[in-house]
Amino acid sequence: MTVAMTDAAASPEVRNQSRQQLPVKLTVNGQRYDLHLDPRVTLLDALREHLQLTGSKKGCDHGQCGACTVIVEGRRINSCLTLAVMHDGEEIVTIEGLGSPENLHPMQAAFVKHDGYQCGYCTPGQICSAVAMLDELKSGIPSHASTDLSNPSFSEAEVKERMSGNLCRCGAYSNIMDAIAEVAKGEGLPA
């Protein structure tokens, strides 16, 4: 049987190794950051705690709610499930990078127009996920709900499947669907 040593019982050399910081270069919302992070820091914690980009929320911290969804290299991910060091050199877009109060992204504007939020906690993740989801559809990436794998099309079933990783405890789903449909139509996807 192997017994793991606690940090307190470990030798000074082992304790120092576990606190080693690694250089991590991230481009977040178009701005480059040179960080030194413990290799165990999640991307979510790097964004929130080290860069003070608090739009992405820590909901469940288990990848089950989607409140932490960000866009990395054009693909949406749950930032609580990945380590920051794994994204060294990559481009990351958070809710703060999609638009500003003076110049909202079309998805942000549609969420406001259709009241696609209630408490707002899940909204940043919902919006980032919706933006990336429409890009997936435009790129022809199928989902489990796609009836034609070579040419997936916009439909309520597609949106429900693709957005199923983003939960809203307030139940604003019909309004979120209306917001996504408006933006999809504006982008030329038949809604």
Residue owning tokens 């790097």:
46
pTM score of the predicted model: 0.88
* ∠ CA 126-130-136, rounded to 5°: 145
- Structurally, at CATH architecture level, domain 21-98 sits in Roll (3.10)
Residues 6+ apart with CB under 8 A from 143: 136, 152, 158, 161, 162
| Secondary structure of residue 107 in the 3-state scheme | helix
Choice between 191 and 88, residue whose per-residue pLDDT is larger: 88
Tokens of 167: 């939960």
Give the pLDDT score at 9.
Answer: 60
Do 128 and 72 contact (CB within 8 A), yes or no?
no
Give CA 31 to chain center in angstroms. 18
Give the pLDDT score at 102.
Answer: 95
Confidence of residue 93 (pLDDT cuts 50, 70, 90): very high
Confidence of residue 6 (pLDDT cuts 50, 70, 90): low
Mean pLDDT of 54-76: 97
Model confidence at 133: pLDDT above 80: yes
Q: For residue 84, what is the DSSP state?
A: G
Give the pLDDT score at 12.
Answer: 59
Mean pLDDT of 71-93: 98
Residue 120 — left, alpha, or beta (φ > 0 → left; ψ -120 to 50 → alpha)? left
Do 129 and 166 contact (CB within 8 A), yes or no?
yes
Ranges assigned E (strand) in the chain: 22-28, 31-37, 69-72, 75-78, 91-93
Q: What angle in degrees, to the nearest 10, is found between the helix axes of 106-113 and 123-138?
A: 120
Q: Which CATH superfamily is domain 106-186 in?
A: [2Fe-2S]-binding domain (1.10.150.120)
Mean pLDDT of 150-169: 93
Model confidence at 178: pLDDT above 70: yes
List the domain boundaries for the chain: 21-98, 106-186
